[in-house]
Structure 1
């Protein structure tokens, strides 16, 4: 009965990571089949670069999430921690957002190259979050001043 929560979290994380892996593979297969095979006449070197960029945009957040989901074991092999809760927000949520935005951009770029501009959402949101963080350090940034 001990560590039931850790065992449950470990199983949930394994299912979650498998689902993310399936989504990533599905998006790549759709892109390769449609863009490279069906629309091969319009496939250029820019599309190769796009495939490399989206692959990196999948790999980096996925590896970070995999590290977060890794369970911790004691030296005797007993499960201590089932890994990070993947349903929480914060950095975990941002990493999921990058993966989902990449899925959208990759699949929709088959239709039009203009969907690559959707990637600007990621640095724009980062700048917005940074501005809110930096504003807290400025004088009067986090205080509410009274009119008196």
Structure 2
């Protein structure tokens, strides 16, 4: 039972990566079949150029996930490295979002045409929204650490407890923090 968690992670990563490769292959073949054979796009050159440019991030992410997530085994079949957790939060989660959205854009472009690629503009918009949310939360957190209200001014007793207010009412000195 040695390395049970590592073996489970390796099995889960292998399953996830195999499923991702099959979905990606199916999605890309679907696009190529529909756009180039069934619809015979009027501007095939533009269609292929947009397809290559806008599906490149998904392919890069897929190869990156393959590199970090695929388990490696020794010659005797023993697990050497289970790979990184592909269900981790943070950047890995964002990569999955971009991958899924790119697949959706590819499928929409296959069915609706080149104008569906404009859906891809959601990715940078979402990134900017997330960055602004993080920055605002950091600013609020930093303001709370220095005892101010975020404008460089100190709060006027708004953070005082009830006990401190009662003591001040009786004439006790206000406690000042440096």
TM-score range, shorter chain: 0.7 to 0.9
Q: Which of structures 1 and 2 has the bigger CA Rg?
A: 2
* Greater than 4 Å deviation, 4+ residue runs: none
C-alpha change, 1:114 and 1:141, in structure 2 (3 Å) is: farther
Contact 1:105 1:116 in 2 (8 A): yes
Partner residue, 2:56: 56
Matched ranges for 1:1-148 at <5 A? 1-71=1-71, 79=79, 81-110=81-110, 111-135=112-136, 138=139, 142-143=142-143, 145=149, 148=158
Give distance in 2, aligned partners of 1:70 and 1:113: 34
C-alpha change, 1:44 and 1:72, in structure 2 (3 Å) is: closer
* Structure 1, 105-114 or 119-128: larger mean CA deviation: 105-114
Higher RCO, Cα 8 Å, sep 6+: 1
Contact 1:35 1:43 in 2 (8 A): no
Deviations 1:36-81 (A, max 9, x none): 001115242210112212441222111221122134679x986354
Contact 2:36 2:44 in 1 (8 A): no
Q: Which runs of 5+ in 1 are unaligned?
A: none
Normalised to the residue count of structure 2, the TM-score between the two structures is 0.70
C-alpha displacement of 1:26: 0.5
Count of aligned residue pairs for this structure pair:
146
Deviations 1:82-119 (A, max 9, x none): 22222232111111111111111111112133321211
Contact 1:5 1:82 in 2 (8 A): no
Q: Which runs of 5+ in 2 are unaligned?
A: 150-154, 159-178
Q: CA RMSD in A?
A: 2.6
Normalised to the residue count of structure 1, the TM-score between the two structures is 0.82
Give distance in 2, aligned partners of 1:73 and 1:57: 29
